[in-house]
Amino acid sequence: MEKQPLPTDDDRPGESELDIYVQDRQQVSSEPASRAGWNSKIEYFLAQVGFSVGLGNVWRFPYLCHQNGGGAFLLLYVLLMLVVGIPLFFLELAAGQAIRQGSIGVWKSISPRLSGIGYSSCVVCFFVALYYNVILAWSLYYFGNSFQSPLPWENCPVQGNTTVTECEKSSPTSYFWYRKALDITDSIDEVGSFNPYVVGCLFAAWTIVCLGMFNGIKSSVKVMYFSSIFPYVVLFCFLVRGFMLDGASEGIAYMFYPKLEIWGDVQVWRQAATQVFFALGLGFGSIIAYSSYNPKNNNCHRDAFTVSFINFLTSVLATLVVFAVLGFRAKEIVMACVLSNVKKLSELSLDPSLMPNFNYSDPKSVSLEVYTEWFQQSGNENPWNLTECDLEKEMQKGVEGTGLAFIAFTEAMTLLPGSPFWSAIFFLMLLNLGLSTMFGTMEGILAPLRDRFKCLAKNKIKLTVVSCVIGFLIGLIFTQRCGNYFVTMFDDYSATLPLIIVVVFETFSVSWLYGADRFLDDIEAMLGWRPYAVYKYLWKYVCLLAMLGLLGATVIRMFIKTPTYRAWNQENQELVNVDYPGWALAVLSLLIIFAMLPVPVGFIYSYVKDRREPRSRDTEAGHYNIVNTDETPMTDMSEQDHRNGFAVSDSLPLDSA
């Protein structure tokens, strides 16, 4: 049903404006709500937490924390989350809950000329869904291979009577990841054939997502009861087991050791802000979509704080687990290095006065502290050509992204008793973390399209199936032997810049075009109490300037630093930084342009349409005066109607006066 303007006295002669207003409210309120809703608050929390808590909490946050000052980075992260992340999260929650539509409908209600913001969110969600599901496919592949003893990545394969050279010079886990799972090429230019195992796993991943989204939130939330809770069970199991391992305390100490000097580094602020931005899922439209299924009086202000801090605590929990296990792995490797070096010393015929005071009859008794102290005193250049065996350097190897999950952490699990069990539950955890995020990402695509186009709303199941089929077919790009490099390209460039621009427009449109005070008025009418006035200044100045600063820093970094990717060099058995070729730079540029294009296109389309078909001031501002850049109040609508009618559609009952 199309929205119809409220009748005036001319339409109903003999009735006062107040009588007409009351009758219309009663009529609209009696209409049944056609939009779905959550069965309980628990379902909503599972969905929002499941979307915001994803793979980045496990393999991105720990890396950033370790590389950027440990405890100092945690404090910086909390500060930015409080002054930027939570206010913007609250803004999206309130807008979605009030207007009860997806991102396209929300920003079109704010102003028809801003509808492109919602379409940009959909495009970015689609890009993210394409490569994110490939990561789920990799997790499925490793999960399926975990039911073996020993694990297939525990030892190097043997050809004839010799160990495979590539594996021997790298590690069994690196060899399995790059050669068996990916069968990767040396560069993005070498396309290679499709990996049949990854293709099969990708098909399975999209099938799971399709079945989970088959009936919208009614079906996906049933999966989330498991996919949102199970990761916490696994993390606590790993935490308890990790604390019992030798080297766990060293790993956690390295992670949390504060380095306050990092606060003076602009890049650290940029990385912290970006992590807050992506951890909460701002700009995707998924927050708006999930919130749109809430009742109007839901306390979205409390939800913003609750979900944000659950997300933060999950990141801290995952970081404790990661560095406890990585500390154990590093300690095992370093102690093996110490043992090897002590044995080398014992086999040399040297002047006893030059020999360190070690117990050569029992090399295992030499502690890391004693060896490190002797090595530092002897100087890095020693006549025995021994290695340093540095614990911190060992912990820094492969602790970011896929390198953490599929190499470093996987290697650590091979050292645990019952390694197949720990491997299986770890990759099942990754699979569930990814699924919850994928459900939210897909909802950020499907909900706005269903709200905007009635034909799609009537064919909800077909829309879901077709979207998943298209996602699988395009996703085959990532299953080539060079597919991992395309995943890196999409992850680094297809979402970051467009999403920041989307959030800048969101913040500007609400706080300046619509008006922060008026937005707070509408929230007050919706919740029954008025949020703190500090949000007005945070939205108008702090958040907007912070996002503009993040946008500027990101753009400058893209132009100053040549885009590169990490490629596996088979000859040297190591990762090397490689510049993107010209065609790849063109592709990533098109990804960014295509994601941002709906914003100017929507504005131009609306402007041209207004020029050809001049609308009344009421219509241009939105049906219920959703946005009115002119501060003059509407004459044909009461102030209370304006405040309570914030984005009310004909399919929803109006809140009682």
In the annotated binding site, the residues are 50, 53, 57, 311, 433
Rg (CA), the chain: 28
Q: Do residues 325 and 409 touch, judged by C-beta distance below 8 A?
A: yes
Q: Is residue 576 helix, strand or coil?
A: strand
CA 168 to chain centre: 35
Q: How far is CA 463 from CA 93, 210, 329, in A?
A: 25, 10, 46
Residue reference for tokens 């990996």: 195
Residue type, 433: L
User: Which burial class, exposed, middle or buried, applies to 397 when counting CB atoms under 10 A from its CB (0-12, 13-18, 19+)?
Assistant: middle
Cα separation, 523 vs 531, whole angstroms:
8
Residues in the chain: 657
Q: Do residues 617 and 629 touch, judged by C-beta distance below 8 A?
A: no
Q: Do residues 65 and 410 touch, judged by C-beta distance below 8 A?
A: no
Type and span of the H or E element at 96: helix 86-99
Concatenating the DSSP letter of every residue in 439-460 gives HHHHHHHHHHHHHH-HHHHHTH
Cα separation, 12 vs 35, whole angstroms:
30
Q: Which two tokens stand for residue 447?
A: 């909900």
Cα separation, 295 vs 317, whole angstroms:
32
Residue reference for tokens 């080398």: 344
Q: Do residues 450 and 460 touch, judged by C-beta distance below 8 A?
A: yes
Cα separation, 399 vs 586, whole angstroms:
30
Positions at the binding site for Na(+): 50, 53, 57, 311, 433
Find the DSSP H helices in 217-265.
217-227, 230-243, 248-256
Q: Which two tokens stand for residue 545?
A: 């300037």
Q: Is residue 194 helix, strand or coil?
A: strand
Q: Do residues 131 and 55 touch, judged by C-beta distance below 8 A?
A: no
Closest CA to 642 of 98, 60, 94, 41: 98
Q: DSSP assignment, residue 352?
A: G
Cα separation, 128 vs 438, whole angstroms:
9
Q: Residues 6 or more apart from 40 whose CB is under 8 A from it?
A: none
Could you tell me which residues are beta bridge partners of residue 565? 578
Residue reference for tokens 């399926």: 144
